[in-house]
């Protein structure tokens, strides 16, 4: 940005008190929180006024060596003056002080960011003024101590334990158990001790100038954009650094002004189940952070919820009927306005309701489905919008097991059902350890007193989460739901000893490494591994998938080679097999001996003899799959890996094979050495095997065609085979192999009197094949993009070795994402599009599909839609995800 442009920029937008300069559509500039505060104020809802410092300031700040734009100070001063006029109070005034909250707000809600600072603007003078003005000294000094504590923690980075210790000691000495037991005088004493402690820790006085406090907090928000927590969160959620965060400065309203005041959080529908009916918690005489921090146990919002939870404390509906009625009206208005379930924060100050936040609520997959389907049926959104509303990646949660209700359970304890689904793993008490043990393939359950943003990586690595403290809206609960990890929060009866790595409950002790099962749907924590059951794919799931199928153009197939996988995939809606790898079939215990015999024989005759033994087994494999797939097309790839992969590796294996084949071990080892290659990925594999050992592919082709005939005779259904030749680089390779396979098909037709239905095509997985697609399509009736190998060969990057440095590449910004997970559109994608175009120019009817790992990745599926592929193929469990993603890609392309 040039200096001229900078000088003209509008950095600050006001909201509330009659009008707003911003609106919901401006979330890129104002962040989600700021844009929605502006929108709510525009709708005429009661929003404490304030102003938003834009995300552009954040970007300018980092672009300019952590300096603010020159004109920012003046714009903030002007907005502050306007705010003072609206609320008729003055910032820093000793008799009529304005207090503000300073709140971060990125485009997408980000738990890694700076925590909110409340009650900013207090010092000895303004606290006294607040006491006079409110007629409530206790409230004034309660606010003041909160401010010192929060500001010290969040802005000054002091250890919060110092303040907690002071408060605990004071309570002990005075025989108090609750914070609410403290009087005005007590809080004054605490404030004094807090300030002294802060000065000691800081080496200077705690800042008493409200403007210094304000700029300190603003600076802390912008700095937090680049802290470790935020960086980790952004990486996990694909949020670009360039988005920046906004800062909201807002007049305080007080939920801690006695029994007619309260603060709370609510969802307009149940975020776990999607059920209609408000869902939320509130605390009387408290400020916002009390709810989230889990310091006090919140009460239920509605009577209905209170009854369901069996909570003895009165609900808000009961305790504050008028505010509750007003809140209900606001909920309905906001849901109609945003046409989505809302997550809302509010405060009641002496009976008066104030709205502090609204956003589209995070929800479990189950709730997302139900809410989308319900809202479409209510007429609030269209069926197509409903399809767009569910995150395909989130569906994963529904496709995984839950606990079998009839199986015996050894229940250790119960907490809150904070995030549904069941998971099983070993107990681990530390986030770093959870991450490292998970990276070694162990399944872990993370057990914590409570979680904080520092634990996010461990929560991500864990199968499930248990916390001793915290409600349904605690950090653990919110984050776990977002990540789709089963979570039990507030399991208050467990006593965790971090040092010993154990927890005890009801006289039993669970050690680090003991197996636990977490049932996030009921809140139970069980000892040992409990029996799980497979998910139900009916109801809302079926309805939404039906709508998705209506919207989608691309077909969805599956990668499967076992009957079990094929069955699962068909249940999940697979419309064919996109990749059946035949080599896995070679490893089966009953045939590996024959496979080795084939590989080890040095003559064609020897190989044919061995292959004759394999043929019937392979034919049975294919027949089984054709029976399951019916008329759905099955792409079967002929043998692909280098032969030495099948040879024995250990001395013991060698001895076994020697005994079975009658060959001396030395000869075996010599043959293995013969076959070994220095770069097997680029070696004698794929169609190159077919060229040198014609009999192998001929056997496989025969097994396929004979199986088709058998199944047709048996069932009357004609199976459809797509015989796929792997690793083709030249048109000539394919021409030679196609002729042989077609020859086998004719032979089988002649022998059996039945002509199998088949196509012959190739996998496009080498750059040369992509570039020469026009030639290759003369013989290929289909292309299947093998994007795993195509990514390896395009980048010249071995997937098995890349893991060691991919992290560095992503950190350095060279790769935005792992190209083996999400297709590289620019390079690999270019080759895909070139091949599609050139191939179709030769052969109009050329069928195009993708069978790499990318076939189940929603972003890659969007690319496939844009490139005009006919189908994607993915692992069975991802089939519903791909169906939904393909529908969304189609709808996005149409709009
Ligand atoms: P987060 O993004 O972590 O939810 P918020 O900025 O929403 O942080 O602030 C957390 C809580 O602080 C709010 O839910 C609310 O209870 C309280 N809060 C924030 N601003 C104000 C304010 N101006 N007046 C009263 N309470 C506030
Ligand atoms: Mg909030
Ligand atoms: Mg390959």
Contact assessment for residue 289 and residue 116, using Cβ atoms and an 8 Å cutoff: yes
Q: Is the predicted pLDDT of residue 394 greater than 90, yes or no?
A: no
Instruction: Indicate whether 656 and 524 sit together in one domain.
Output: no
How many angstroms separate the CA atoms of 111 and 100, rounded? 21
More confident residue, 810 or 171: 171
Q: What is the pLDDT of residue 458?
A: 92
CATH number at residue 409: 3.50.30.10
**Neighbour count for residue 392 (Cβ, 10 Å):** 24
**Relative to the alpha carbon of 787, which ligand is closest?**
3
**Relative to the alpha carbon of 786, which ligand is closest?**
3
Instruction: Indicate whether 167 and 111 sit together in one domain.
Output: no
Instruction: Indicate whether 526 and 651 sit together in one domain.
Output: no
For the CA of 100, the closest atom of ligand 1 is 23
886 falls within a domain? yes
User: Does ligand 1 have an atom closer than 6 angstroms to the CB of 263?
Assistant: yes
Ligand 1 pocket mutation pick from 355, 356, 479 by most atoms within 8 angstroms of CB? 356
**Comparing C-alpha atoms, which of 574, 543, 561, 555 is closest to residue 878?**
574
- Averaged pLDDT, 241-254: 96
376 falls within a domain? no
- Residue 731: pLDDT band (50, 70, 90) is very high
What is the domain count for the chain?
5
* Unique residue bearing structure tokens 């691309």: 554
CATH number at residue 224: 3.30.1490.20
Residue positions counted in the chain: 895
Q: Is the predicted pLDDT of residue 383 greater than 90, yes or no?
A: yes
- Averaged pLDDT, 227-253: 91
Query: What is the residue with the minimal CA distance to atom 13 of ligand 1?
Result: 288
- Residue 335: pLDDT band (50, 70, 90) is very high
Q: What is the pLDDT of residue 212?
A: 97
- Averaged pLDDT, 8-18: 94
Contact assessment for residue 148 and residue 118, using Cβ atoms and an 8 Å cutoff: no
- Averaged pLDDT, 769-787: 98
Ligand 1 pocket mutation pick from 295, 347, 359 by most atoms within 8 angstroms of CB? 347
Domain boundary among 197, 219, 252: 252
Q: What is the pLDDT of residue 295?
A: 67
**Comparing C-alpha atoms, which of 409, 410, 454 is closest to residue 434?**
454
Q: What is the pLDDT of residue 676?
A: 86
User: Does ligand 1 have an atom closer than 6 angstroms to the CB of 32?
Assistant: no
Q: Is the predicted pLDDT of residue 293 greater than 80, yes or no?
A: no
More confident residue, 672 or 54: 54
How many angstroms separate the CA atoms of 758 and 756, rounded? 6
User: Does ligand 1 have an atom closer than 6 angstroms to the CB of 103?
Assistant: yes
Q: What is the pLDDT of residue 754?
A: 95
Residues whose CB is less than 8 angstroms from the CB of residue 708 and which lie 6 or more positions away in sequence, other chains included: 622, 626, 718, 719, 721, 754, 756, 757, 758
Q: What is the pLDDT of residue 639?
A: 95
- Averaged pLDDT, 580-604: 83
For the CA of 265, the closest atom of ligand 1 is 14
Report the alpha-carbon angle 611-612-616, nearest 5: 105
Q: What is the pLDDT of residue 600?
A: 84
* 727 Cα–ligand 3 center, Å: 6
For the CA of 357, the closest atom of ligand 1 is 7
DSSP string, 90-120: EET-SSSEE-EEEEEEESS--TTSPPPEEEE
* 838 Cα–ligand 3 center, Å: 21
Instruction: Indicate whether 157 and 91 sit together in one domain.
Output: no
**Comparing C-alpha atoms, which of 743, 800, 745, 733 is closest to residue 769?**
733
More confident residue, 816 or 489: 489
User: Does ligand 1 have an atom closer than 6 angstroms to the CB of 224?
Assistant: no
CATH number at residue 173: 1.20.80.30
Instruction: Indicate whether 156 and 17 sit together in one domain.
Output: no
How many angstroms separate the CA atoms of 10 and 13, rounded? 8
Token representation of residue 198: 């802060």
Ligand 1 pocket mutation pick from 101, 121, 482 by most atoms within 8 angstroms of CB? 101
480 to 298, 328, 389, 472, 536: CA distances (angstroms):
20, 27, 20, 11, 22
Q: What is the pLDDT of residue 741?
A: 98
Query: What is the residue with the minimal CA distance to atom 8 of ligand 1?
Result: 116
Contact assessment for residue 869 and residue 837, using Cβ atoms and an 8 Å cutoff: no
Instruction: Indicate whether 94 and 165 sit together in one domain.
Output: no
**Comparing C-alpha atoms, which of 402, 361, 400 is closest to residue 521?**
402
When the pLDDT of each residue in the chain is averaged and rounded to a whole number, the result is 92
544 falls within a domain? no
How many angstroms separate the CA atoms of 653 and 587, rounded? 14
User: Does ligand 1 have an atom closer than 6 angstroms to the CB of 253?
Assistant: yes
DSSP string, 804-839: HHHHHHHHTTS-SS-TTTS--TTTHHHHHHHHHHHH
Q: Is the predicted pLDDT of residue 16 greater than 90, yes or no?
A: yes
Query: What is the residue with the minimal CA distance to atom 23 of ligand 1?
Result: 252
Contact assessment for residue 471 and residue 292, using Cβ atoms and an 8 Å cutoff: no
- Averaged pLDDT, 465-470: 92
For 490, the domain range is 400-533
- Averaged pLDDT, 784-794: 95
Q: Three-state SS for 523?
A: coil
Q: Is the predicted pLDDT of residue 737 greater than 90, yes or no?
A: yes
What does DSSP say about strands 402-403 and 532-533: parallel, antiparallel, or unpaired?
antiparallel
* 726 Cα–ligand 3 center, Å: 7
Q: Is the predicted pLDDT of residue 782 greater than 90, yes or no?
A: yes
* 121 Cα–ligand 2 center, Å: 20
CA atoms within 13 A on the CB side of 574: 32
Instruction: Indicate whether 164 and 225 sit together in one domain.
Output: no
423 falls within a domain? yes
- Averaged pLDDT, 853-867: 94
* 685 Cα–ligand 3 center, Å: 9
* 168 Cα–ligand 1 center, Å: 25
Query: What is the residue with the minimal CA distance to atom 15 of ligand 1?
Result: 288
Q: Is the predicted pLDDT of residue 557 greater than 80, yes or no?
A: yes
236 falls within a domain? yes
- Residue 672: pLDDT band (50, 70, 90) is confident
Instruction: Indicate whether 742 and 692 sit together in one domain.
Output: yes
Q: What is the pLDDT of residue 338?
A: 97
Domain boundary among 363, 385, 416: 363
* 784 Cα–ligand 3 center, Å: 10
388 falls within a domain? no
Task: State the burial class of residue 877 (Cβ atoms within 10 Å of its Cβ: 0-12, 13-18, 19+).
Answer: middle
CATH number at residue 297: 3.30.470.20
- Averaged pLDDT, 297-310: 92
- Residue 294: pLDDT band (50, 70, 90) is low
436 falls within a domain? yes
Query: What is the residue with the minimal CA distance to atom 3 of ligand 1?
Result: 115
> What percent of the chain stands above pLDDT 90?
74
User: Does ligand 1 have an atom closer than 6 angstroms to the CB of 266?
Assistant: no
Q: Three-state SS for 343?
A: strand
* 111 Cα–ligand 2 center, Å: 10
The tens digit of pLDDT for each residue in 192-235 reads 999 999 999 999 999 999 999 999 999 999 999 999 889 888 88
Query: What is the residue with the minimal CA distance to atom 19 of ligand 1?
Result: 101
Instruction: Indicate whether 215 and 104 sit together in one domain.
Output: yes
Q: What is the pLDDT of residue 292?
A: 65
- Averaged pLDDT, 22-44: 97
* 161 Cα–ligand 2 center, Å: 24
Q: Which residues are catalytic?
A: 475, 851
CATH number at residue 779: 3.20.20.60
Q: What is the pLDDT of residue 733?
A: 98
Ligand 1 pocket mutation pick from 121, 288, 296 by most atoms within 8 angstroms of CB? 288
User: Does ligand 1 have an atom closer than 6 angstroms to the CB of 474?
Assistant: no
For the CA of 248, the closest atom of ligand 1 is 6
User: Does ligand 1 have an atom closer than 6 angstroms to the CB of 118?
Assistant: yes
DSSP character for 153? Answer: I
* 86 Cα–ligand 2 center, Å: 23
* Unique residue bearing structure tokens 């969802």: 267
Confirm whether pTM is higher than 0.75.
yes
- Averaged pLDDT, 284-311: 86
For the CA of 103, the closest atom of ligand 1 is 6
Ligand 1 pocket mutation pick from 52, 86, 103, 344 by most atoms within 8 angstroms of CB? 103
Instruction: Indicate whether 109 and 141 sit together in one domain.
Output: no
User: Does ligand 1 have an atom closer than 6 angstroms to the CB of 345?
Assistant: yes
Query: What is the residue with the minimal CA distance to atom 6 of ligand 1?
Result: 103
Report the alpha-carbon angle 105-111-116, nearest 5: 55
> What percent of the chain stands above pLDDT 70?
99
Instruction: Indicate whether 149 and 224 sit together in one domain.
Output: no
Domain boundary among 225, 252, 279: 252
* Unique residue bearing structure tokens 């995939």: 569
- Averaged pLDDT, 401-430: 89
User: Does ligand 1 have an atom closer than 6 angstroms to the CB of 357?
Assistant: yes
63 falls within a domain? yes
Instruction: Indicate whether 735 and 649 sit together in one domain.
Output: yes
């Amino acid at each position: 940005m040039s200096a001229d442009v900078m000088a003209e920029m509008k950095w600050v937008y006001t909201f509330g008190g009659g009008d707003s300069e911003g609106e919901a559509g401006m979330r890129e500039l104002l962040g989600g929180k700021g844009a929605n505060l502006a929108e709510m104020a525009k709708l005429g809802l009661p929003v404490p006024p304030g102003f938003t410092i834009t995300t552009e300031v954040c970007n300018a700040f980092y672009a300019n060596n952590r300096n603010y734009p020159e004109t920012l100070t003046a714009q903030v001063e002007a907005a502050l003056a306007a705010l003072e006029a609206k609320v008729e109070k003055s910032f820093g005034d000793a008799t009529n002080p304005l207090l503000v909250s300073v709140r971060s707000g990125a485009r997408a809600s980000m738990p890694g960011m700076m925590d909110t600072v409340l009650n900013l603007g207090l010092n000895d003078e303004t606290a006294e003024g607040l006491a006079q003005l409110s007629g409530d000294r206790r409230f004034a000094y309660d606010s003041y101590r909160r401010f010192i504590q929060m500001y010290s923690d969040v802005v000054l980075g002091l250890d919060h334990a110092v303040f907690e210790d002071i408060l605990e000691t004071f309570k002990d000495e005075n025989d108090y158990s609750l914070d609410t037991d403290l009087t005005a005088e007590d809080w004054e004493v605490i404030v004094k001790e807090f300030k002294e402690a802060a000065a000691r820790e800081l080496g200077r006085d705690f800042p008493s100038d409200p403007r210094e406090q304000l700029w300190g907090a603003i600076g802390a928000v912008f700095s937090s954009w680049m802290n470790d927590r935020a960086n980790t969160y952004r990486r996990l959620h694909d949020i670009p650094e360039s988005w920046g965060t906004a800062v909201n400065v807002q007049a305080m309203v007080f939920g801690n002004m006695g029994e007619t005041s309260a603060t709370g959080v609510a969802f307009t529908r149940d975020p776990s189940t999607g059920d209609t009916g408000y869902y939320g918690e509130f605390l009387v005489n408290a400020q916002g952070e009390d709810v989230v921090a889990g310091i006090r146990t919140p009460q239920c919002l509605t009577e209905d919820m209170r009854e369901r939870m069996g909570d003895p404390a009165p609900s808000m509906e009961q305790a504050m009927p008028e505010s509750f009625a007003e809140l209900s009206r606001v909920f309905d208005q906001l849901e109609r306005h945003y046409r989505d379930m809302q997550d809302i924060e509010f405060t009641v100050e002496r009976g008066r309701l104030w709205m502090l936040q609204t956003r589209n609520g995070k929800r479990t997959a189950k709730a997302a489905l139900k809410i989308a389907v319900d809202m479409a049926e209510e007429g609030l959104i269209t069926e197509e919008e409903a399809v767009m509303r569910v995150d395909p990646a989130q569906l994963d949660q529904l496709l995984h097991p839950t606990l079998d209700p009839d199986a015996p359970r050894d229940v250790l304890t119960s907490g809150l059902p904070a995030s549904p689904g069941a998971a099983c793993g070993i107990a681990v008490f530390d986030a770093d350890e959870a991450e490292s043990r998970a990276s070694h393939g162990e399944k872990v359950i993370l057990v914590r007193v409570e979680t904080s943003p520092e634990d996010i990586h461990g929560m991500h690595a864990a199968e499930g989460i248990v916390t001793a403290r915290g409600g349904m809206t605690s950090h653990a609960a919110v984050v776990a739901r977002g990540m789709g990890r089963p979570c039990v929060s507030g399991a208050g009866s467990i006593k965790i000893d971090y040092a010993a790595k154990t927890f005890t409950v009801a006289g039993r002790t669970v050690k680090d490494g003991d197996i636990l099962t977490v049932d996030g749907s009921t809140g139970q924590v069980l000892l040992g591994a409990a029996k799980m059951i497979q998910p139900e794919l009916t109801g809302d799931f079926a309805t939404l998938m039906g709508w998705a199928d209506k919207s989608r153009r691309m077909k969805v197939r599956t990668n499967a080679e076992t009957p079990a996988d094929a069955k699962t995939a068909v249940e999940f809606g697979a419309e064919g097999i996109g990749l059946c790898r035949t080599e896995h079939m070679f490893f089966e215990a009953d045939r590996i001996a024959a496979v080795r015999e084939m590989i080890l024989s040095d003559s064609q005759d020897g190989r044919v003899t061995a292959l004759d033994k394999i043929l019937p087994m392979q034919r049975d494999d294919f027949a089984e799959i054709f029976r399951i797939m019916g008329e759905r097309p099955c792409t079967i790839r002929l043998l692909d890996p280098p032969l030495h992969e099948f040879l024995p590796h250990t001395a013991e294996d060698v001895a076994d094979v020697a005994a079975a084949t009658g060959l001396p071990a030395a000869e075996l080892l010599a043959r293995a050495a013969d076959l070994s290659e220095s770069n097997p990925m680029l070696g004698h594999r794929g169609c190159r095997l077919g060229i040198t050992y014609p009999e192998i592919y001929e056997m496989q082709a025969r097994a396929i065609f004979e199986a088709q005939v058998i199944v047709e005779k048996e069932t009357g259904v004609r199976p459809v085979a797509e015989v796929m030749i792997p690793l083709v680089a030249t048109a000539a390779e394919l021409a030679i192999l196609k002729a042989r396979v077609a020859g086998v098909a004719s032979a089988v037709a002649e022998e059996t009197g039945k002509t199998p239905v088949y196509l012959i095509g190739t996998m496009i997985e080498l750059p040369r094949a992509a570039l020469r697609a026009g030639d290759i399509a003369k013989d290929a009736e289909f292309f299947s993009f093998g994007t795993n190998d195509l990514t390896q060969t395009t980048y010249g990057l071995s997937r098995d070795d890349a893991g060691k440095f991919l992290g560095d590449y992503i950190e350095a910004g060279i790769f935005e994402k792992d190209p083996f997970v999400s297709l590289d559109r620019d390079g690999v994608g270019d080759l895909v599009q070139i091949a599609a175009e050139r191939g179709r120019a030769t052969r109009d009817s050329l069928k195009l599909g993708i069978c790499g790992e990318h076939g189940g990745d929603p972003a890659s599926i969007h690319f496939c839609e844009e490139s005009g592929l006919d189908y994607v193929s993915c692992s069975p469990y991802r089939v519903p995800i791909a169906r939904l993603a393909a529908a969304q890609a189609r709808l996005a392309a149409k709009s």
